[in-house]
Amino acid sequence: MKFSDGYWLNQPGYDLFYASVPYEIDVTEHAIHVLATQVLNSRGDTLAGPVLDIYFSSNLENAIRIKVEHYRGARKKGPAFDLYAQEGFAPTTTETDEYAELVSGKTRVRIHKGNSWLIEYYYEDRLLTKEGWRSTSYITEAPYHTQERMLAQKNFNRFFAEDQDEATAYTRGQLNLSVGESIYGFGEKFTTFVKNGQKVEMWNSDGGTCTEFSYKSIPFYVSNRSYGVFVNHAEKVSFEVGSDTVSKVSFTVPGERLEYVIIGGKNIADVLVNYTNLTGKPALPPAYSFGLWLTTSFTTDYDEKTVSSFVDGMAERNIPLQVFHFDCFWMQEFRWCDFVWDKRMFPDAKGFIQRLKARGLQICVWVNPYIGQQGAIFDEAVEKGYLVMKKNGDVFQTDMWQPGMGIVDFTNPEACKWYADKIRALCDMGVDAIKTDFGERIPTDVVWHDGSDPLKMHNYYTHLYNGVVFNTLKEYYGENKACLFARSATAGGQQYPVHWGGDCFSQYESMAETLRGGLSLCLSGFGFFSHDISGFEATGTPDLYKRWSAFGLMSTHSRLHGSSSYRVPWLFDEESCDVVRHFVNLKGRLMPYLYANAVKTHETGIPMMRAMIVDFGDEPATWNLDRQYMLGDNLLVAPIFNEEGTALYYVPAGKWTDIQTGEVFEGGKFYETKHDYFSMPLLARPNSIIAYGSFGKDVVYDYARDAKFVIYQLEDGKQTECKVYDSEAKLVQRIVATRKGDVIEVEADNKEIPFTAESSDGCKVVIL
- Catalytic annotation, residues: 437, 440, 503
- The strands making up 362-367's β-sheet, listed across from edge to edge, are 433-436, 362-367, 323-326, 292-295, 558-560, 532-533
Please, which residues have CB within 8 angstroms of residue 417's CB and are 6 or more apart in sequence? none
- 337 preceded by cis ω (within 30°)? yes
Residue type, 388: V
Q: Answer yes or no: are the C-beta atoms of 233 and 195 closer than 8 Å.
A: no
d(CA 464, CA 412): 10
Question: If you write DSSP's letter for every residue of 472-485 in order, what string do you get?
Answer: HHHHHH-TT---B-
d(CA 753, CA 706): 7
Q: Answer yes or no: are the C-beta atoms of 5 and 13 closer than 8 Å.
A: no
Q: Where are the beta strands (DSSP E) in 543-661?
A: 558-560, 609-610, 629-631, 635-637, 646-651, 655-658
Three-state secondary-structure class, residue 119: strand
φ, ψ (nearest 5 deg) of residue 272: -70, -35
Q: Answer yes or no: are the C-beta atoms of 537 and 514 closer than 8 Å.
A: no
Please, which residues have CB within 8 angstroms of residue 322's CB and are 6 or more apart in sequence? 288, 289, 290, 291, 292, 293, 361, 362, 698, 699
Query: Nearest-CA neighbor of 370 among 342, 394, 399?
Result: 399
Q: Strand 362-367 to strand 743-748: parallel, antiparallel, or no bridges (unpaired)?
A: unpaired
d(CA 292, CA 560): 8
d(CA 373, CA 577): 42
